[in-house]
Amino acid sequence: MAEPKPIHVLQLYPRDMNIYGDFGNALVLQRRLQWRGYEPILHSYDPEDEFPEQVDLVIGGGGQDSGQDKIQQDLLRIGDRLHTLAQSGTPMLMICGLYQLFGHSFRTREGREIKGVGILDLRTEGTDTRLIGNVVAESTEFGEILGYENHSGQTYLGPGVQPLARVTKGEGNNAKDSYEGARFKNIVGSYLHGSLLPKNPAIADFLIATAVQNRYAEAIQPQIDPAGSAQPIDELTRKARTTATRRPR
């Protein structure tokens, strides 16, 4: 049997940007890569770390304003590397705080500006209002997207990005336009925690399929059922999604 092909997954700033279960996104990618016969190699990157030489997929989570302060200068330092990866089509998932900092700027409610790397054409304004609760959103690309939001920053998209989905329950990017998240090239940005990927395997498989296609110029292998029966993981996911849609806001 051939050795599994490696896929390198980079998690940005897990020490400071990893709240509300965002590390679960890394675990989902690890397992779903394994189930498709690939070898996931997980890298963590915190301020002043050495940036990995090989990166096939990038993920990042949310954090408090203080966490964004801690990583801001380092994020700008590696901004050119991230821009190069983004422009080359590397799949990325940015959640909440790092979603904001992949934009142009985040102005806190005190009026202090935290500069972003400008990969995504969006800006965020801090407010005194928290958008918090369960979210259901409709995406033409990924179907129904489920998650949990908890943020006081309100994000407004520019013309250089498309919204990820239209919200049917909850708020999403802000309290005005009913959009959730952003899409640009192979980047998915979102406010949804919980973690996002366990409840939204279509997004996980998009990230994996894109990474595999970029690295090996091949379609992803069929999923290997870890329990030996007919897709029990997918059935559990379906039941979890059904339950999640019924949860109150």
Write out the two tokens for 196: 């996002």
Q: Which residue in 8, 43, 96, 104 is the catalytic one? A: 96
Among all chains, which residue has been given the structure tokens 């498709």? 36
Among this protein's residues, is 96 annotated catalytic?
yes
Q: Which residue in 8, 43, 104, 193 is the catalytic one? A: 193
Q: Which residues contact 120 (CB under 8 A, 6 or more apart)?
A: 94, 99, 102, 103, 160, 161, 182, 184, 187, 189
AA identity, residue 187: I
Write out the two tokens for 93: 């998932």
d(CA 212, CA 204): 12
Among 104, 135, 119, CA closest to 187: 119
d(CA 37, CA 241): 26
Among this protein's residues, is 83 annotated catalytic?
no
Please state, as a whole number, how many other Cβ atoms lie within 10 Å of the Cβ of residue 38: 22
The secondary structure element, H or E, covering residue 246 is helix 232-246
Please state, as a whole number, how many other Cβ atoms lie within 10 Å of the Cβ of residue 22: 26
Query: Within a 13 Å sphere around the CA of 195, how many CA atoms are in the beta-carbon half?
Result: 22
Cβ contact 149:194 at 8 Å: no
Q: What is the bridge-based pairing of β-strands 105-107 and 113-115?
A: antiparallel
Q: Enumerate the active-site residues.
A: 96, 193
